[in-house]
Amino acid sequence: MTPGANPAVDAWRGALGEAAVLTDEASVAAARRNAAALDRRIPCILRPRSVADVQAVVRIARAHRAPVHPVSRGCNWGMGSRLPPRDGTAVVDLSGLDRIREVNAPGRYAVVEADVTQGQLHRRLAGDGLPLIFNVTGSSTGTSLVGNSLDRGVGYFDSRATLLSGLEVVLGTGEVIRTGFGHYDGARTTHLYRHGIGPWLDGLFAQGNFGIVTAAGVELLPKPERETAVIARIDREDALPALIDAFAGLRRRGVIGGVAHIGNRARSWMTLAPLLMEQLVALRQCPADRAREAAEAVLAAEGFGPWSAVAGIAGPPRMQAIARAEIRRSLRGIARVIFLGAGLRRTAERLLAALRGIPACARKLALLRAVTPVQELALGIPTDDTLPAVGWAVPGAAPSRDDPDRGDAGLLYCLPIVPADGAFVREALDAVLSIFARYGFEAAITVNLLDDRSMEGVISLAFRRDDPARAAAAQSCIREAEEDMLRRGCPPYRVGLGSMDLVVRPDDPFWQTVRSLKTALDPDGVISPGRYNLA
């Protein structure tokens, strides 16, 4: 872009420096590349390195009526990644705000800037030898804590937005506000009592787009004295309602804590098969060109049937023994249950490694090693080992192990919140499966028990995004699934850019009120216009 062609770009260059304003074709193309196969015109990428820089970005945006869209790491895979909601919107890349400002062990919180990743915080806690973990997601180590939390991502212990406190926000006016007690100099309890005094503003900035959040407090959790994975598997589709109701009852009685994950065969296989393939080849159980077939055979033989559930129980041995007995009783006649703690897993791995010359033992060792990084998520240990699932789900697509935005495999999500009612969930999922089948896609489904009353539906669609016809069919399919869920009274808690109009409706007083708030906090509507708001 030549100087003078865009006055806002020239002003941003003057404020941030040439190196922080990218308009070259390669940089813009990288920002446009996304697993959802969507597209937007992007005039430039801005890279502020401080809160003052972010203020300058917003003030120039206001002066020139030039919209901007902030991203932390841009890993909103399947929902649009780094793409802004509208054409002509500059992307504000917050990767320069990457400091962990504070870790307070007695108060169990960390204050992190917008670009701090799961892996970064995990390494800090482990390096300091602290008996603390945080609410990790099944995404990669390189994903942002703040960005995912503000879009209400769900971790292995809770919805992440509920664990934020003391937000630092550059409003659409260019002013900086700090929520809770954070606007009082020397406040010691900003991240201990998140509500502060007066109206509680934190919730406005989760999917609010009234400002750019540059830092926030993240609640840390005590490392469990002992953690045991509960794995329950059913052999018949018609047992799913009873499985859901049993786990909801266990959560209601406090037998299990955190989020329980109940996934169908497609979800289990796409998660585990790529890891199992690597292990089978490493243990010389099959050649690389037969690894997919061999992995599928192992998963089928090990009983990963129609649906599998994974939850966690924590606490001292005596409490865990009581919990295990209650879980066995509740799931008797419904599912096969195994309990796998870290100690048992290590012992089994040593034994199987010693016997790996026996093919059956080598295959079990491969499966155990494949399952380990997934189970360790419940211990607060993030992993990159879940990323190959996207490529595996599209046979023949050029894979990318570390970035779903690369390669030929596409990804879309339908993310409804549904009641923790087994019969209702079964009926709704049957409809989704029917919709997917009509378009020729397989639905990988997880229903995550958030508490004893509600579940997060994670319905993913993998497709060839290098095939325009299949990409268009995928968009139509996921939209129809979202529409069906809405008709059933189950709106999504997150939507991709292609579905924003399904939930943001101009005749709805709720969204009209959101528009009034945006007018107050972002008077010129320059921050992510059209994303969870009426532009």
Query: Is residue 245 located within the same domain as residue 381?
Result: yes
- The 3-state DSSP class for residue 137 equals coil
Please say whether the beta carbons of 253 and 430 come within 8 A: no
Please say whether the beta carbons of 499 and 478 come within 8 A: yes
Give the pLDDT confidence of 139-165 residue by residue, as tens digits.
Answer: 899 999 999 999 999 998 889 999 999
Query: Is residue 184 located within the same domain as residue 118?
Result: yes
Entry pTM: 0.93
Q: How much is the pLDDT for 303? A: 72
Please say whether the beta carbons of 263 and 443 come within 8 A: no
Please say whether the beta carbons of 256 and 328 come within 8 A: no
Query: Is residue 147 located within the same domain as residue 291?
Result: no
Please say whether the beta carbons of 228 and 312 come within 8 A: yes
Please say whether the beta carbons of 146 and 215 come within 8 A: yes
Please say whether the beta carbons of 466 and 472 come within 8 A: no
In a domain, 404, yes or no: no
CA-wise closest residue to 206 among 151, 243, 277, 145: 151
Query: Is residue 190 located within the same domain as residue 114?
Result: yes
CA-wise closest residue to 232 among 334, 313, 137: 334
In a domain, 524, yes or no: no
In a domain, 422, yes or no: yes
Q: How much is the pLDDT for 266? A: 94
The token pair at 303 is 């009983």
Q: How much is the pLDDT for 399? A: 55
The total number of structural domains that make up the chain: 4
Whichever domain contains 15, its CATH number is 3.30.43.10
Residues 6+ apart with CB under 8 A from 63: 8, 11
Query: Is residue 294 located within the same domain as residue 366?
Result: yes
Query: Is residue 188 located within the same domain as residue 207?
Result: yes
Q: Which residue type is seen at 316?
A: P
Please say whether the beta carbons of 196 and 178 come within 8 A: no
Among candidate residues 44, 78, 96, the one where a domain is terminated: 96
- The 3-state DSSP class for residue 208 equals coil
Give the pLDDT confidence of 7-65 residue by residue, as tens digits.
Answer: 999 999 999 999 999 999 999 999 999 999 999 999 999 999 999 999 999 999 999 99
Q: How far apart are CA 506 and CA 513, in angstroms?
A: 10
β-pairing verdict for 21-22 and 257-264? unpaired
Q: How much is the pLDDT for 1? A: 53
The number of residues in the chain equals 535
Long-range CB pairs of 358-361, under 8 A, 24+ apart, other chains included: 359/285
In a domain, 505, yes or no: no
User: By residue range, what is the domain housing residue 37?
Assistant: 7-96
Whichever domain contains 424, its CATH number is 3.40.462.10
Query: Is residue 339 located within the same domain as residue 380?
Result: yes
In the block, tokens 């820089």 appear at 53
Whichever domain contains 194, its CATH number is 3.30.465.10
Per-residue pLDDT tens listing for the chain (535 residues): 555 578 999 999 999 999 999 999 999 999 999 999 999 999 999 999 999 999 999 999 999 999 999 999 999 999 999 999 999 999 999 999 999 999 999 999 999 999 999 999 999 999 999 999 999 998 899 999 999 999 999 998 889 999 999 999 999 999 999 999 999 999 999 999 999 999 999 999 999 999 999 999 999 999 987 788 899 999 999 999 999 999 999 999 999 988 999 999 999 999 999 999 999 999 999 999 999 999 999 988 887 789 999 998 988 889 999 999 999 999 999 999 999 888 888 899 899 999 989 989 999 999 999 988 888 888 889 999 888 888 888 887 765 677 899 888 999 999 999 999 999 999 999 999 999 999 999 999 999 999 999 999 999 999 999 899 999 999 999 999 999 999 999 999 999 999 999 999 999 999 999 999 999 999 999 999 999 999 8
Please say whether the beta carbons of 182 and 196 come within 8 A: yes
Residues 6+ apart with CB under 8 A from 458: 267, 413, 415, 445, 446, 447, 448
CA-wise closest residue to 448 among 333, 306, 308, 253: 308
In a domain, 319, yes or no: yes
Please say whether the beta carbons of 86 and 530 come within 8 A: yes
In a domain, 344, yes or no: yes
Among candidate residues 73, 96, 119, the one where a domain is terminated: 96
Query: Is residue 239 located within the same domain as residue 358?
Result: yes
In a domain, 56, yes or no: yes
In a domain, 522, yes or no: no
HEC states along 56-85? HHHHHHHHHCCCEEEECCCCCCCCCCCCCC
Among candidate residues 77, 96, 115, the one where a domain is terminated: 96
Query: Is residue 85 located within the same domain as residue 40?
Result: yes
In the block, tokens 């900086």 appear at 176
The token pair at 473 is 């069919």
Helix (H) or strand (E) holding 389: helix 389-392
Please say whether the beta carbons of 113 and 99 come within 8 A: yes
Query: Is residue 205 located within the same domain as residue 232?
Result: no
Query: Is residue 356 located within the same domain as residue 298?
Result: yes
Helix (H) or strand (E) holding 219: strand 211-219
β-pairing verdict for 90-93 and 109-113? unpaired
Query: Is residue 273 located within the same domain as residue 321?
Result: yes
